Amino acid sequence: MNRAIWWIRRDLRLSDNQALAVALVEAEIVIPVFILDPNSLDSQYNSQQRMAFLFEGLRSLESDLRKKGSNLIVRKGNPLEVLHILCAEAEAEGIFAEADVSPYARQRDTRVMRELPLELIPGITLHPADKLLKPDGSPYSVFTPFRRMWYSLPFPGKPLPAPERLAPPPSLANHGVPDFPRYSYADSLPVGEAIAQSRLARFLSSLIKHYAEDRNRMDLDHTSQLSPYLRFGMLSARQAAWAAHVAQAFERDITTRQGADVWLNELIWREFYATILYHFPYVRLTAFRPKLRYIQWFEDTAGFDAWSAGRSGYPVVDAAMRQLNETGWMHNRARMITASFLTKDLLIDWRQGERYFMQHLLDGDPAANNGGWQWIAGTGTDAAPYFRIFNPVLQGKKFDPHGIYVRHWVPELSDVPARFIHNPWEMPTHIQEKVGCVIGKNYPAPMVDHAKARQRALAAYREGAI
């Protein structure tokens, strides 16, 4: 065919882009298009800063496309209508896009496919979600067998290089990338494919060595912090997994190999939850496990507000929520601790936490976020047993042993002695006054007593399970 549209959604990259690669094989002129879809942008699950991250990423992609001789066409509106118009204007005979797994995306794409020549190409995960099945054809719902099967599959090829040159697209009306909202986190999480690739290289050359041992430490920066880039495809899952795969096989240093192993495992979790959402789209609405759909959650607006604002009185929980609110990212261990606190200590519906995370995380991904929340709440696939309730004081002592993470995000506690940093309410009054942290005045008293809250949660889960 002569002209085709490359419909960009969450694959903001030129390297290892299989949808783009197929389009380039099929058509002489490929027109890169992004559609600003009000359904997505105005969703209650969207985040202003994630949207800003996306727009900044589009600007970066636009500049990369121009260097290759092409351009980026941005249009606004219902995707089906926009694509109808664009196909007519550009005389495009085909549309190529990376397949997605979320219920909204699949419904949208199905509608487009009924009327227009849309071809979906895998890429959001290494192995397409509809292919990751048990021998009997049904989907997995337990991680370990899923992983075994994943490992038994051949690695799906090396990542593709970016195309050398692109043919200039025809002249078309262009809405351009919006200027608002402004992106606020460029210092900690700068945007673009080149940045994503260099961060992957940095992770592989130094941080991955510590990954197996220290990835749970909230006070250390030994995680990859690549999730926002994977979220928008500035880095492909295959590029990430390929790097881990190569390190596993050829790296001499054993701790680096172990790090690669553990990190690849995390990437397989990402594949697992994408597959779960694909096969069980109802998990966005209700518990994966039917037996846990009847837990009596509290309607506790004040409690939810204290949790979300980082005013729970538990230092680790507050540090984590403030990290999220101030940077759009949260350490993985901290996600588990805060989620456990909301669902178990406060007995607030996991869906409220899921939505809050989606409203604030730059990497907010429907599949991974839902999978994580349901896992913590005990309602999900292969979920934590209901009696597995995180103790925020112990978690703090284990994974932020010196209180560095807490002090960084909760400055009220910066002068609290190390032995009280995770339980400041136990400080004798004279010390509270001396270090300028009077509980109830400078820093909140714990909003619940964890030991009692734990008993309450155990009872509620016992009663709620049918």
- Residues 40-99 interacting with DNA (rule: CB under 7 A): none
Nearer to DNA, 19 or 237 (CB): 237
Catalytic site residue 423? no
CB 30 within 8 A of CB 20: yes
Q: Is 276 helix (H, G, I), strand (E, B) or coil?
A: helix
Catalytic site residue 266? yes
* Given 143, 183, 373, 405, the residue binding DNA (CB under 7 A): 143
Nearer to DNA, 142 or 186 (CB): 142
Contacting range for DNA; rule: CB under 7 A; set: 63-71, 234-242, 316-324, 446-454: 446-454
Catalytic site residue 269? yes
Smallest separation (angstroms) from DNA to the CB of 3: 43
At 76, which helix (H) or strand (E)? strand 73-76
Catalytic site residue 332? yes
Catalytic site residue 325? no
* Given 375, 405, 409, 443, the residue binding DNA (CB under 7 A): 375
Closest-CA residue to 320 (of 342, 298, 351): 342
Nearer to DNA, 183 or 420 (CB): 420
Smallest separation (angstroms) from DNA to the CB of 13: 25
Q: How many CB atoms lie within 10 A of CB 78?
A: 14
Q: Using CA atoms, how far apart are residues 410 and 429, in angstroms rounded to an integer?
A: 20
Smallest separation (angstroms) from DNA to the CB of 383: 8
Nearer to DNA, 327 or 423 (CB): 423
434-to-409, 410, 442 alpha-carbon distances in Å: 21, 18, 12
Contact between 343 and DNA per CB under 7 A: no
Contact between 386 and DNA per CB under 7 A: yes
Q: What is the CA radius of gyration of the chain?
A: 23
Q: In the stretch 223-262, what mask flags binding to DNA with x, by CB under 7 A?
A: ----------------------------------------
For β-strands 94-98 and 29-36, DSSP reports them as unpaired
Catalytic site residue 174? no
Q: Using CA atoms, how far apart are residues 442 and 164, in angstroms rounded to an integer?
A: 59
Terminal-to-terminal C-alpha distance of the chain: 57
Contacting range for DNA; rule: CB under 7 A; set: 51-59, 71-79, 233-241, 329-337: 329-337
* Given 313, 372, 444, 464, the residue binding DNA (CB under 7 A): 372
Question: What is the full DSSP assignment across 322-382?
Answer: HHHHHHS---HHHHHHHHHIIIIIS---HHHHHHHHHHH-TT--HHHHHHHHHHHHT-STT
Contacting range for DNA; rule: CB under 7 A; set: 77-85, 203-211, 265-273, 352-360: 265-273
Q: Is 49 helix (H, G, I), strand (E, B) or coil?
A: helix
Q: Using CA atoms, how far apart are residues 13 and 3, in angstroms rounded to an integer?
A: 20
Nearer to DNA, 113 or 149 (CB): 149
Smallest separation (angstroms) from DNA to the CB of 411: 25
Smallest separation (angstroms) from DNA to the CB of 224: 13
Q: Using CA atoms, how far apart are residues 274 and 205, in angstroms rounded to an integer?
A: 28
431-to-125, 313, 425, 439 alpha-carbon distances in Å: 53, 17, 11, 11
The count of residues interacting with DNA (CB under 7 A) is 39
| Annotated catalytic residue within 6, 263, 329, 350 | 350
Give contact residues for DNA (rule: CB under 7 A): 134-135, 138, 140-146, 148-149, 216, 265-266, 269, 291, 332-333, 336, 372, 375, 382, 384-391, 394-395, 398, 450-451, 454, 458, 462
- Catalytic residues, which ones? 266, 269, 297, 332, 350, 373
